[in-house]
Structure 1
Amino acid sequence: MGVNTVLLDTNSYSRLTLGDRHIFNFLKRVETIYFSVIVLGELYSGFRQGSQKNRNITELEAFLRGNNIRLVKISEKSAEIYGKISYELRSFGTPIPTNDIWIAANSIETNSTLITYDKHFLEIKGLRVWDKI
C-alpha cells in the first residue's frame, strides 16, 4: 500500500527547494500534501534572516497554491496530541524541540506520514515517519 497523505517538515521543504530528487519523486505519487502552520512560521523566520527573503517567500506562496497542498492549523485535537507526545518524551528522557512536537501532532492528527530528515521524530510513538532518514 502506498502513502496517500504526507506532512512536510521544515527541512524537507528546504531540501525540496534545493532539488532533493528523493522528496520530489515521492511527492509526485502523493494525493495530499499537508503543510503545518508551524513549518510555515519556521520558514518565514528563516527567510527573514537570509539574503533571498523575497524570492523565498514568493516561491513558498506559489508552492502553497498547489492543488494538493492543504494548510494545517493548530486545533484542540492538535493540542491534545501535543500534550500526550510531550509528556511521553519527557517521561522517557527524550525531549525534542517544541515546534517539532507540534509538527508531529499535526501529522498524527491528519493521519499523514511525516517527511523529514530529523531522526528525533523516530522517538514519537504513533507517528509515521518517511523511511528515507
Structure 2
Amino acid sequence: MNGKCLLDTNIVIALFKGEPKVLKELARCKTYVPAIVIGELRYGAEKSERSDSNHTQIDALINEVIVLPITTEMGNYYGEIKNQLRSSGKRIPENDIWIAAISMENDIALFTRDKHFANINDLKTKSWDI
C-alpha cells in the first residue's frame, strides 16, 4: 500500500464498473469514502431500475472501506472552503464542498474526475481522465 485514498462518487462508480486503471490504483492504498458519497450512491440506487443490486453493491463497499462521517471540524473546513469559493467567484456543488472538507480535515488526497475541485485552495487531489 502506498497510502490513503479518499474516493469521490465518480471514482466509486468507476470501481463498481471494474475499470482496470481504477482497480489497479486503489489496490495500492487504504481506501476511505466520505459519508456524503454513500448518500449520493444511495440516492442513485433509489432512482435506479436495479435498486436492489445497487444497494447490495453499496453495502459491500461499506464493508470494505473506512467511511468517514461528518464532524464539527469538517464544518469549520466547509465554512472556510465555501467562503474561499464565494470570494473567488467560483461555485461547486454543495456536496462536493463537504467532500473537500472531509479530505482536508483527514489530510487524505481526494481521488476524483471532477475538475472543479481544483478551485479549492490547498486541496490534495488525484485525477483520472479515463
Smaller-chain TM-score bracket = over 0.9
Residue pair 1:3, 1:113 contacting (<8 A) in 2 also? no
Report how far residue 132 of structure 1 moved: 2.3
Whichever residue aligns with residue 73 of structure 2, its letter is: K
- Structure 2 residue ranges without an equivalent (≥5): none
Report how far residue 62 of structure 1 moved: 1.0
Question: Any residues of structure 2 matched to 1:67-78 within 5 Å, and which?
Answer: 69-78=65-74
Partner of 1:24: 23
Q: Over residues 85-113 of structure 1, what are the superposed CA-to-partner deviations in whole Å (9 max), with x where a residue is unaligned?
A: 00000100001000000001001111111
Q: Does 1:106 align with 2:102?
A: yes
TM value normalised by structure 2: 0.94
- Structure 1 residue ranges without an equivalent (≥5): none
TM value normalised by structure 1: 0.92
Residue pair 2:85, 2:91 contacting (<8 A) in 1 also? yes
Cα pair distance change 1:100/1:132, threshold 3 Å: same
**3-state DSSP of counterpart to 2:92:** coil
Which consecutive segments of 4 or more residues in structure 1 shift more than 4 A? none
Identity percentage of aligned residues? 36
**3-state DSSP of counterpart to 1:115:** strand
Q: Over residues 47-93 of structure 1, what are the superposed CA-to-partner deviations in whole Å (9 max), with x where a residue is unaligned?
A: 11111111011111112112xx1111110110000000000001000
CA RMSD after TM alignment = 1.3
**3-state DSSP of counterpart to 1:5:** strand
State how far apart, in whole Å, the 2-side matches of 1:14 and 1:96 are: 20
